[in-house]
Chain A
Amino acid sequence: MISSLDELNAEARAALDACLERVGHGVEAGFREEVLDDLRVYFTDHLEPGATPADVTALAATVGEVAESDEPSHTRFAGVPIDLTPPTAERVAHTWWNPRDERIFVPRVFGLGWAVNIGAVAVKLGLIEPDAEDEPFESTPVTALRRGLVVPALLSVAVVAHYALRGPGLPDRLPNQADLAGRVGSWTSKPVAAVTDIAVAVVPTAWAAVTVGRGGTGARAAGSLATATGAAAVAAGLTLWRAAALDGRSRPWFGPALAGLLWLPSGAVLLALARAGRAAEQRRDLGGAR
């Protein structure tokens, strides 16, 4: 403990000032001075006179993380979380795969409502440890990411092949939406249906392929693969339903099945990537023993 920040040497003081400035930028102006004063007291309590810049940075990292984790930043609308920040692949990965967090339902990456924390589900099912990776997907090898790309790619090929091979034999209008009972609620033209399904499958898959192909790794690559897999699976499910629903029968399982198609294949891909990351960490630490 020190009695004043002036006891720090010049390098440590400079590191501290840089940290405080960084934190200050993220705090609302009305509270900034109050927060910074609290932080100065905290650093005074926790730093020793001989503290190095590395000690300051290490302490600052802990403080920042604690502050972030204390209260979620999500705005709520009638008790439901809402986030209108533009989504990124990293945020998708961190939201859908956070095995250290026990909550299964977490605020969505974008929009109103909740998403499934597949990492928490995997931990509860005993498929992986909460701390299997130091940082999710940071150790996942590029080969595993490329293998993960096979799933959305195959689904996309299946959708394209369906419209290429079976398309000519399908009627001019195809089912577009289902009502709550699973009956066809509205119809659309065949070209619109085909372009929609193919675009929903192929565009995210192409984006994931570019991300992984350009050497993207970590949460960014994993998030793009999970998004592509979910989108391609939903597109494949929608394609099959459009063909099957032509018989006019009610299919009440359609809605839940579509939700399952979004989460199950994406979850399987994220789990495989996380397990590959765990295996890589074990090879790093245990060497030839694994």
Chain B
Amino acid sequence: MSIEQEGWGSQLRKGVLELAVLGLLAREPMYGSQLVDELAARPELAITAGTVYPLVARLAKGGLVTSTWQESPVGPPRKYYELTAAGARALTAMATTFSAVATAVREIVEESR
């Protein structure tokens, strides 16, 4: 893969990461390393903890997620992240935009083949 393509892929992943995090938290509240593991299990996203934690902090500052410490049955307490009502609305809007963009791009790419 050329450097340009790698850079493009990185930009694309950066653009959808927020949507991916909101989507995961819409399923269930998650603690930080759980979120990192869920994202790391999808190698196409190429996400590391150093990307996820600052992003979650920005989402919390923006009021899209909240965090709460909860007791853990297997160790020290963990900080869980949960979607707020504003976060759920943002997720819906972003998912709609993402689908529309993906559909349009897919059509163009398929036509060009």
Contact = CB atoms under 8 A, between A and B. Distances in A.
A131 B77 contact: no
B62 A101 contact: no
B103 interface: no
A85 interface: no
B58 interface: yes
Given A55-B86, A100-B53, A285 B62 contact: no
B77 A286 contact: yes
Interface in B37-94: 48-50, 53-54, 56-64, 67-71, 77, 79, 86, 89-90, 93-94
Nearest to B96: A1
A13 B67 CA distance: 29
B29 interface: no
A46 B94 contact: yes
A65 B89 contact: no
B32 interface: yes
Q: How large is the interface on B (under 10, 10 to 19, 20 to 34, 35 or more residues)?
A: 20 to 34
Given A45-B93, A101-B50, A130-B49, A61 B69 contact: no
Given A100-B53, A129-B32, A45 B97 contact: yes
Contacts of B89: 48, 55
Nearest to B14: A70
Contacts of B32: 129-131
Interface of B: 18, 32, 48-50, 53-54, 56-64, 67-71, 77, 79, 86, 89-90, 93-94, 96-97
A25 B53 CA distance: 28
B67 A282 contact: no
Contacts of A65: 58, 61-62
Interface in A1-58: 1, 45-48, 54-55, 57-58
A135 B49 CA distance: 17
Contacts of A130: 32, 49, 53
Given A46-B94, A131-B56, A282-B69, A62 B64 contact: yes
29 contacts: A1-B97, A45-B93, A48-B89, A55-B89, A58-B63, A58-B86, A58-B90, A62-B59, A62-B61, A65-B58, A66-B18, A66-B58, A69-B58, A100-B50, A100-B54, A102-B48, A102-B50, A130-B32, A130-B49, A131-B53, A131-B56, A131-B57, A134-B57, A134-B67, A282-B69, A285-B68, A285-B70, A286-B70, A286-B77
Nearest 3 interchain pairs by C-beta: A102-B50, A62-B62, A285-B69
Interface residues of A, number: 33
A281 interface: yes
B53 A62 contact: no
Contacts of A54: 63, 86
A103 B58 contact: no
Interface in A83-142: 99-103, 129-132, 134-135
Given A1-B93, A102-B49, A58 B62 contact: yes
Contacts of B97: 1, 45-46
